[in-house]
Amino acid sequence: MCDQANFVEAGKEWQPMKTNGLRQNLSDNMLKGAIVLLPFILSFYFLYWMADFFDKVFSGILVPLGITLPFGSGIVGGLILIYVLGRTSDLFVAKFIKEWLTRTIKRIPVLGSIFVSISDLTDFFRKAEGSPHGQAVIVRFENPEFRIAGFLTRTDLNTLPTADSMDELVAVYIPLAYMVGGGFTVFVHKDKVQNLNMSFEKAMQANLSAWILKG
């Protein structure tokens, strides 16, 4: 009777332990599978969004002419359009059209301010590679002591509308992880800034991925 009672009690304890272990195993592997799939899902979703966007743009132009495009054709046209814009952006006519559009948009309240901010930021990114303005840096802070990575944007701050002395300060842009275009700027003493031996592109990838990078 005693042995039988012990066996029953052991069985009761084994059942929950087995169930908990199975649940933990399923949870761990589901999480691992989601992490593996996430980059592919997001990449293909972005590709799908681009295809859908350009399909709608080109369909709006071609459908009235009796031309129907299969889904996905728009992304090919969109990539060609982006390439052509890149190749012709330095031509006189392209510059004239761009400047005219820029002046027109700047006159529109609110939209003009947003456009100027985004335009300045994209120009900074476009010209950053190989430029002293845009180099990857580490900023050292004290009390409490910590480090933060960013990009040097300005070394001359004397034109800023402030009564404070800005002679020894520089501006550093700190991008936010997983937020393209999001970030903030800090003004720190130049002695607190140390260059990173990284290209602008690699440092930007590292910042946007919270420095979870290989190599």
**Domain boundaries 132-208, corresponding CATH code:** 2.30.30
Q: Where are the domains of the chain?
A: 91-128, 132-208
Which pTM was predicted?
0.48
Query: What digits encode the pLDDT tens for the residues 155-164?
Result: 888 777 777 7
pLDDT of residue 166: 80
CA torsion through residues 115, 116, 122, 127, sign: positive
Amino acid (one-letter) located at 212: I
Rounded to the nearest 10 degrees, what angle do helices 2-62 and 73-88 cross at?
Answer: 60
Query: What digits encode the pLDDT tens for the residues 161-205?
Result: 777 778 888 889 888 876 666 788 888 888 899 888 887 778 877
Q: To 10 degrees, the CA torsion angle through 97, 99, 104, 110? A: 130
pLDDT of residue 42: 74
Q: How confident is the model at residue 213 (pLDDT cuts 50, 70, 90)?
A: low
For residue 70, is pLDDT > 70? yes
What backbone torsions phi and psi does residue 13 show, to the nearest 5 degrees? Answer: -75, -35
